[in-house]
Structure 1
């Protein structure tokens, strides 16, 4: 396998050299891709290497990937060509090291719980790899050698052994920095996640009788909670489960052994001890649904405008009314909050492309004038210039998977355990402070 791996990495080096030596459209595409990626994460040398390796199969020059261009312009043997074509299945992931052998690692992609045997090669920093231990987390990109075996296609970023709260944060960062690879090796999970967003949107519209509403923050928080409770009951009923039953009574009625439940749950990624605690619990069964936690500034806002969309999800905007009032005032520059609020709308992720499209449809003339003044571009045209301007502020016209999307069971279990650990830690800290107060 060592010879096969070294041959694969030699081919990859030819491909890298081809990309670096290219001029014209390919060079421009690489520069653009690298600039976009640098906005999302720290741009050290390891990140730069990962970006280049990702560009090979994910970047676009017109309608073609750099890999496709290389295959079309290079004389290769049939076996080499087949190997390179398989690299379209390349995968960037956040992996946990399960087992370490002399020339390979058994890794698990934390985003999907899928496992891989990944071979090393001579171009990797072996000193750093020799320090690795089972349980450590690494960010890297892997590529197939064949249907069962893979090799490290890129440099790696070692995250170390992470507590559950830190692992949950790392997964959140991965989602922000690599949204296109969230479920890169499990398209069925991605499809289910998008379906759940559409379902949530429909439940939202049925509950509120509209896809847009304005409510005080406290009332909105209460209504969202009611909506989620209603959704949970519907899912229980659809599954034929009585939500008044405890976990134990359901097990008894089905005749299923607790050991069987534990084994099935742990195979899906849950911790055996956690499963055992759930099984012993007298609490009533509740289905896991995407829980919306409104931040304090939304809960406390006097007025919140909410948009709902089957792809963009829900957007909660406490300043939307103020922004529309600014648009309708006509004398933008005389308003004391003109500069800050426009900058906020351009820079904040929550105010996404969809929100700007609603503003464009409702206030086209006013919005064009406002942006001409703010951007100091008197020739700015809404129809032709808005989309590229929004892209400069990292507001793509393609929606990313919203927070309300369903997640695999093992991730939901991790997030819940992470929150529990953080709360437990805070509770201990609070008790210590109270204890010191009585001394």
Structure 2
């Protein structure tokens, strides 16, 4: 590690933060707006505040520029080396890191979202005492930035999560994906690209199977059909890999001459865990591997009617009240329909009724929808073309798509989630056994 470069980076980072905090005009307004939009109302302490500020420095927008670019423009005394460092910081990112080991004056971290490893060193605001408390195996939420070809600096405060069990780590990753969407696979764009490709691929399979990108079925029938679709997708993947799904794994291995490790790796890529592979190789059971399963929630499975939408970017959406909303809008006087206001407000407030769903309603029922919103929102001047997008934004329904839950995930994350489910199931089973034992002694 270049100690001189690290000290330079520490001082430069402090100068950069002071520049942003002391700024006036557009930069100050942009910072305030960014902080308000990204603050966590449930728990908002100084470490989280600093993480938001440091994210704004590299990812925020002031007109067409980032704060980093403004800093370079407005600080003429920066050396060429300073400017090179600041430009490197455009690659900074927020991650959920596991401490792998301590290294001289720093830590080796692994970003759990991408499984990539980094040698990182503290910034000026992290004391030796704080760093000494962190131990291998602990999870840190923080932001890091490059300071050379191989080394990185902790760019913000660290929010320690402690040592987490696999179920708790899976939950933490889920929270990260929800609260730090912009940082998902930010150090591994190839993973992000593959994830988006899987969404488009699943959409096409959906359309080919159902004959449309929108269908309405009972919840139970939809659940059955989706299972058939996923089985069909698995068969296609196996066939494209030259594997006959009608044969046992042992038969496939004997015919192809593939070794156990190669088959296990292929099976794992299809969503089958190592334990299942071992069982299959020791039996004559037919090869049965499935793509990551879409689990419908209970309220969808038991619904009388569910309208399922599919889109190459938005993924799949399952709405159990869509036909009711349509019937309301198709009525001669929608506003007089029972539960009209309740339904409209529900569609505005519930996260699963996203921007895409509202656009479908707008295209199909423009006049009726505008009149209903005028009444429910108490805005007689409400214009659907002019005001709908701004209104939806107030309810956190944005036109930008987010990576759907059906997207593929890296192998290490898939394995973690699978193991977390197994552990939770075992824990519940033990709990039930203890309860039964206790009753027996009464």
Q: How far is the alpha carbon of 1:435 from its aligned partner?
A: 3.0
- The secondary structure found in structure 1 opposite 2:309 is strand
What does residue range 112-127 of structure 1 map to in structure 2 within 5 Å?
Answer: 112-127=114-129
Structure 2 vs 1, CA of residues 345 and 220 (structure 1 numbering), >3 Å: closer, same or farther? same
Q: How does 1:23-172 map to 2 (within 5 A)?
A: 23-38=24-39, 42-75=43-76, 76-172=78-174
CA distance in 1, matches of 2:185, 2:373: 37
SS of corresponding position for 2:236: helix
Give me the whole-angstrom Cα distance separating, in 1, the residues matched to 2:149 and 2:168. 33
- In structure 2, the residue matched to 1:279 is 278
Report the CA distance between 1:377 and its aligned residue: 2.2
Gaps in structure 1 of 5+ consecutive residues: none
Is the partner of 1:233 in helix, strand or coil?
helix
Sort the Cα spacing of 1:245 and 1:167 in 2 relative to 1 into closer, same or farther, 3 A. farther
Q: How far apart are 1:349 and its partner, in Å?
A: 1.7
Q: Distance in 1 between matches of 2:313 and 2:214?
A: 15
Once the two structures are TM-superposed, the CA of residue 243 in structure 1 deviates from its matched residue by: 2.2
TM value normalised by structure 2: 0.91
363, 367, 370: which is aligned to 2:369? Answer: 367
* CA positional deviation for 1:83: 0.7
Alignment-derived partner of residue 319 in structure 2: 317
Separation in 2, partners of 1:57, 1:2: 24
Q: Name the SS for the 1:26 alignment partner.
A: helix
Unpaired runs of at least 5, structure 2 = none
Q: 2-side partners of 1:330 and 1:100: how far apart?
A: 70
Q: Secondary structure at the match of 1:379?
A: coil
- The separation in 1 between residues aligned to 2:207 and 2:400, in whole angstroms, is 22
Instruction: Please give the residue correspondences for 1:400-439 in structure 2 after superposition, counting only pairs within 5 Å.
Output: 400-439=402-441
**Could you report, residue by residue, the CA deviation over 1:68-120 in whole angstroms, capped at 9, with x for unpaired residues?**
11112222111110110011111111111100134110011111110000111
Counterparts in 2 of 1:208-223, with a 5 A limit? Answer: 208-223=210-225
Q: 2:299 aligns with which of 297, 300, 310?
A: 297
SS in 2 for 1:307: strand
| Alpha-carbon offset, residue 42 of structure 1 | 3.4
CA contact (8 A) 2:123 2:156 kept: no
Aligned mates of 1:95, 1:341 — CA distance in 2 = 42
Q: Which residue of 1 aligns with 2:341?
A: 339
Q: Give the alignment's Cα RMSD to 1 decimal.
A: 2.4
Q: Does 1:233 align with 2:235?
A: yes
Which of 381, 396, 408 in structure 2 is aligned with 1:394?
Answer: 396
Deviation of residue 277 (structure 1)?
6.7
- Return the alpha-carbon distance in structure 2 between the equivalents of residues 336 and 418 of structure 1: 44
The offset of 1:436, in angstroms, is 3.2
Alignment size in residue pairs: 433
- Between stretches 84-93 and 94-103, larger displacement belongs to 94-103
C-alpha offsets along residues 288-347 of structure 1, whole Å, 9 cap, x if unaligned?
523100000000000001111000001000011122222233655544423332222112
Pairing 1:224–2:226 present: yes
Check 1:286–1:67 CA distance in 2 against 1; reply closer, same or farther (3 A cut). Answer: farther
